[in-house]
Structure 1
Amino acid sequence: MFCHIGSRQSRRHSPRFQQQPAPRCRRRGCQQEQVVRQHGPRQNAELLRHLLGFALGPRINAGGRVGEATLGVRLLTTEDPEEARQIAAQLSTLNEERRAIEAAVQEAAEAQIARQDNRAAIIVAGEGWHPGVIGIVAGRIKEKTGRPSIVIARDGQQGKGSGRSIAGVDLGAAIIAAREEGLLVAGGGHAMAAGLTIDDARLDAFSDWMDARLASSVSRARGAQSLKLDLALAPRGLTPSLVETLESAGPYGVGWPGPRIAIGPVHLIKADIVGTDHLRLIVGAADGASIKAIAFRAAESDMGQAILHSGKGRKLWLAGRAKIDDWGTRPAAELHLEDAAWAD
């Protein structure tokens, strides 16, 4: 949703910010190289910054989600280049299957969200949903709605569920309490994620109980949400060299998030939808500089709809992560948009 973007002093004061060399494969046909060959050619630096997270990681994970869980271990431990190639190809195929299954569950789950607009927690369930992707879908619904979300894969008289929470709401404690109340067959977790088993007949009662249990904590958490920033720029300051400098402090992840940048105020030149649900913006500054920004899976969000239906020239602030767009004839910097706020 739209919220005002605050500022804070930089939190980057670590020697990790110094340039680190990209990892290299020590033997021809190594595990990482075989996955990269299936994914497509990339530079060595990209192996560290992107491929481990977006090519190797998802493919290893896909084996456990929709295929054979041992494939990832075998890929990482084999000394045989040919075996690595075969396993990498199999994992790439499984990853494509996982993506198709995930997209189908995501679409079906999101169709149920509108009926829960006033609920503290989003709880959706469907017959035959693949249990290997419900955690991913729960996380995406949580990001889209800003509320704790639980996705339940029903199979006959019972369902298996996976939930993801927002900061300030202890979902695991709520699931454990629901189990102790007799609403669940099994369940547990921690503050940000939980799992459960539930009888079909208890779904409605469980949803009502969770709404009552989490209403006050969700309201407080949503009211206290803020977006922490590391850097504020004019559009002309977003350059490939800046992105490379920021990326040299990686790899980023939980506990060491990538720098978040605010850009603005800028005026809206163009806003449209690319792919199935991605919001693309072209924004400009008073000095004539312009940049591209993209918000993935955000076209139907409150932010996406507000921007798409606003008039050209409207002023706004943007916040997100600086990335390199290398699809054109030469690399260009762009913003992966996380939030925005009107500046007029």
Structure 2
Amino acid sequence: MLEPRRNFLDVSQSVLGRAWVDRLDIAGSRLATAIAQRTGISDIVARILAGRGVELDSAEAYLEPTIRNLMPDPSTLTAMDDLASRLAQAVADNESIALFGDYDVDGASSCALMVRYLAHFGLTPQVHIPDRIFEGYGPNIAAMDKLIDAGATLIITLDCGTTSDGPIAHARNRGVDVLVIDHHLSDHDLPPATALVNPNRPDDISGLGYLCAAGVTFMVLVAVNRALRQRGDTGLPDLLRFLDIVALGTVCDVVPLVGLNRAFVIRGLEVARRGDNRGMSALALASRVSGPLNPYHLGFLIGPRINAGGRIGNAALGTQLLSLDDEHQALVIAAKLDELNTERQRIEVEAVEEATAVAAAEIGSGEGPPVLVLASANWHPGVVGLIAARLKERFDRPAFAIALHPDGTGTGSGRSMPGVDLGRAVIEAVETGLIPKGGGHAMAAGVTLRPGDLGPFRSFIADQLGKSVATARAASALKVDAALTARGATIDLLHKIEKAGPFGSGNPNPVFAFPAHRARFPQIVGKGGHVSFTLTSEDGARLKAIAFRAANTPLGDILMRDNEQPLHFAGTLNIDHYQGREQPQFRLSDIARPAR
């Protein structure tokens, strides 16, 4: 029988309506004590490890992950040997190779990895990144014909292709081999590719389904290096220098930062900080990154700028930028992506305001639907994923945002919450003929709708996911790792906590509760309606703090109004770099009033 966790600080209902619970039960607390005693790490870091499922015997290795220890033999992936052999042959024979990628960061990263790998052998592949609006996701016959007519004898699809039966069959009928490198959930009927490597294909038992496409691509390159070595080739590329690109794709595709992914990001950030990739360095400069590159910079500053090209501009810019070595060209493309990102932000703000108002009206004073499925002719197709993410965040449930076209069709994106498999539900909708096209993975999915599909799709998704959403929301209590004070939140502590990272999907950022503190000097800052304030403790210690997108929300209203009243604050900590100095910063997640 599972032991119930106690409410942290006796908070049963916060301002956001959540209970706060201790992330560790009694057994977990004992494990944390044992980890601290064996490894010599601080009690707080030991609690963080125990709260993320790290066992006593693996704690030391967890703190120092390596690619060598965590990456299995690539041949454990179904069809890997066939794919690696065919690609090695193409490299050895100097074939004309074409790449077909996706328009998001993972797609750009995967293509850039392959471009850089092939460049080592003097090969310059054709690269096609589809236009999000006019072509949509995945291979299409017209694009495949264009690549073949330009001389391609081998086409490699990256971060796409698993559900592209028609275009791949067409290419094969024209005598061209097609290799698929992907990670998206698949139907049982796979396309007639020459070889298809996807850890989420039904017959793959590698256990690597948590990898993004860039991670799968890296494993492919390891296998190709081995195949070339077996042919007697020498002077093969050092793949570890590509890990910065793998880290970028891994963070931005929001795959779980566990196991091999965690090692990819830690070691990839070490490579990125050397500045060898001109494109990534140029984007960091354009993004006004301060301090050493970290997962936040990849996911919230660099990634969105690459995505901006695919959302509202030239989808190929991201791949071009990550692939080139010319510093001047890199700065020019980075500046263009920064400009596109500014425009994307403007479009997003307007669309999110409309979507939020519609969702609030639909939910009203009741529970509302388990999954929000909203559509509008006013939304740019390039920002529907961002709209869905904001709706999910604001209303605590999965959400789809669908851009309607003049002909009545729609293209949309969905974002989910832990415990709700959105991609599987979308694939079932396609398999039943309810919608013509769709796919994705547990946390994100894309759909294409015909005229008249919206209502039936909305009902289908509600029926399919209603129970899992209810279960997930009931379990969405805020899990707190430890209590701190403003004085105790030091830079030294944060550096120790970083050893348990990187944090993100699957390895949640530690949440700390600050009991009986006050919010002083609140002010609304930035275009996104953030609220900055100073968190102060009873002994007068101060901590810089911010609540993102909190203006005109329950949290923001309390910060602006009740700044003299002691409250319990919960959130995460990060290191803020400013003018060469480091200081701790608190990011607010929730507020609770102390029990009387």
Q: TM-score range by the shorter chain?
A: 0.7 to 0.9
- 1:312–1:37 Cα change, 3 Å: closer
> Which of the pair has more CA radius of gyration?
2
Equivalent-residue separation in structure 2 for 1:217 and 1:106 (angstroms): 26
Matching residue of 2:344: 98
Considering Cα pairs closer than 8 Å and 6+ residues apart, tell me whether 1 or 2 has the greater RCO.
1
Residue 444 of structure 2 corresponds to which residue in structure 1? 193
| Matching residue of 1:224 | 475
Matches within 5 A, 1:303-322: 303-305=555-557, 307-308=558-559, 311-322=562-573
1:148-227 matched pairs, under 5 angstroms: 148-156=398-406, 157-180=408-431, 182-227=433-478
Aligned length: 340
Whether 1:333 aligns to 2:584 is yes
Shift of 1:309: 7.5
Q: Which amino acid aligns with 1:277?
A: G
Greater share of strand residues, 1 or 2?
Answer: 1
RMSD: 3.0
The answer as to 2:396 corresponding to 1:146 is: yes
Deviation at 1:116? 1.7
Q: Which amino acid aligns with 1:123?
A: V
Query: 1:340 & 1:84 partners in 2: Cα distance?
Result: 43
Q: Secondary structure at the match of 1:258?
A: coil
Match of 2:532 in 1: 280
| Equivalent in the alignment of 2:18 | 3
Q: Please state how far the C-alpha of 1:184 moved relative to its aligned partner.
A: 2.2
2: CA distance, partners of 1:280 / 1:41: 19
Aligned partner of 1:139: which letter? A
Q: Distance in 2 between matches of 1:35 and 1:163?
A: 27
Residue matched to 1:253: 504
Measured after TM superposition, the shift of residue 14 of structure 1 is: 4.9
Q: Relative to 1, partners in 2 of residues 1:131 and 1:268: Cα closer, same or farther, differing over 3 Å?
A: same
Residues 89-119 of structure 1, C-alpha deviations (whole Å, 9 max, x = no match): 2222222222222222222221211122122
* Cα distance change, pair 82–300 in 1 and its aligned pair in 2 (3 A): same
1:39 is aligned, of 287, 301, 321, to: 287
Give SS of 1:293's match. strand
Structure 1: unaligned runs, 5 residues or longer: none
SS at match of 2:487: helix
Aligned to 2:103: none
User: Contact 2:516/2:538 (CA < 8 Å) preserved in 1?
Assistant: no
Q: Give the structure-2-normalised TM-score.
A: 0.51
Is the 1:3–1:340 Cα contact (8 Å) retained in structure 2? no
> Which residue of structure 2 lines up, in the alignment, with residue 297 of structure 1?
549
**8 Å contact kept, 1:25–1:32:** no
Where do 5+ consecutive residues of structure 2 fail to align? Answer: 1-15, 30-46, 50-58, 65-265
Deviations 1:16-75 (A, max 9, x none): 647999544466x822332233333633x2x24543333332222222222222222222
Please say which of residues 261-270 and 153-162 is displaced more in the overlay: 261-270
1:62 corresponds to 2:312: no
Moved more, 215-224 or 182-191: 182-191
Residue identity matched to 1:285? S
Q: What is residue 593 of structure 2 aligned with on the other side?
A: 342
Q: Aligned residues: percent identity? A: 39
- Provide the C-alpha distance between the structure 1 equivalents of 2:496 and 2:274, rounded to a whole number of angstroms: 24
8 Å CA contact 1:154–1:200 kept in 2: the answer is no
In 2 relative to 1, CA 14–97 (structure 1 residues): closer, same or farther, beyond 3 Å? farther
| Cα pair 1:270 1:283 within 8 Å, conserved | no
Q: TM-score, normalised by structure 1?
A: 0.85
Please point out which of 472, 481, 489 is paired with 1:238: 489
Partner of 2:208: none
2-11 vs 181-190, which moves further: 181-190
Question: Per-residue deviation at 1:82?
Answer: 2.2
Following superposition, the deviation at residue 250 of structure 1 comes to 4.1
Shift of 1:147: 0.7
